[in-house]
Chains A and B, each alone.
Chain A
Amino acid sequence: MVVSTLATFLAMGGYARFVWPAYGLAAAVLLGMTVWTLGSYRRRQKELAQLQREAPEPRRR
């Protein structure tokens, strides 16, 4: 019973091969944007921290 309900759901009334790629791409785009955005944020933060360790900001005279 549960299996057949799941199968009906996944079949999407015969439109499975259009509906699921659409939702898959949406997930990929949203997750991809998030991973990329957070990744570059962390990379830049690390880069700045390293730069400040190597050469502390010059004191204003």
Chain B
Amino acid sequence: MRYSGVLVPWVGGVAAALILVGLYLALFVAPPDYQQGESVRIMYIHVPAAWMAMFVYSVVAGSSAVALIWRHPLADIAAQSAAPLGAAFTLLCLVTGSLWGEPMWGTWWVWDARLTSVLILFFLYLGYIALVNAFDEPVRGARAGAVLALVGSVNVVIIHYSVEWWSTLHQPASVFRMGGPTIDASMLWPLLIMALGFTLAFVALLLIRMRTALIAAKIRALRLAEVERQTRGMVVQQTAWS
């Protein structure tokens, strides 16, 4: 964490540059799809957002495992700092998917395996955030949240294989698949650059949020010490009077 202050502006700057390049490629350079026409451009937002939704959940679950097993104090902070960002990416994935589904599938939403499991992912994020904050003692909240995050991690596996296990409206993977990507380079590059930009933006934001959480912990400790000092003063006064 000590070097994060130096790192953050660089990571954030590179992220912003990559996203701008990605936007340029996605909107101006990439060709319209031969079936989907210009609506395919939604994919350059939707697919990276979906990858982030799952990647960030893996970060939350992985940090939770570290927190439960080795009790590393930064691990809980990492998981809690990452969760709202993951929820935001999941919401972006769901809404952009819906915006693409209406013109292409003829419906905003279907309760098929892929869409439903991603919706569950969104609720897992919200449930995790709510659970962590539901306890008066931060330590107990963190532990309960970590267990939920680990149990919920099975959902990430379900999301990934949902398009193979169940017959669904959602198309199977075209990038992370055996035998390599099936899409053309002119569409693959904007996708990958945008995904890298999203990832670095997440890293920069995560580092800032972790620093914020550390400052908040320090504030809490200072307040507690202040209360303790005052009560001790009162006890001394009472003893003097009696």
Contacts and interface: CB of A to CB of B under 8 A. Distances in A.
A and B together in one complex: yes
Contacts of B205: 33-34, 37
Contacts of A18: 39, 42, 99-100, 102-103
B229 A58 contact: yes
Chain A interface SS verdict (over half) = helix
B126 interface: no
Contacts, number: 91
Interface residues of A toward B: which range? 20 to 34
Question: Among the interface residues A14, A26, A34, A40, which one has the most CB atoms of the partner chain B within 10 A?
Answer: A26
A3 B19 CA distance: 26
Contact of B219 (A21, A51, A57): A51
Contacts of B88: 29, 32-33
B45 A45 contact: no
Interface string A27-55: 00110111001101100110110011001
A26 to B, nearest CB: 5
A41 to B, nearest CB: 5
B112 interface: no
Nearest first, the 5 closest Cβ-Cβ pairs linking A and B are: A13-B38, A15-B39, A12-B38, A44-B215, A22-B96
Interface of A: 12-15, 18-19, 21-23, 25-26, 29-30, 32-34, 37-38, 40-41, 44-45, 47-48, 51-52, 55, 57-58
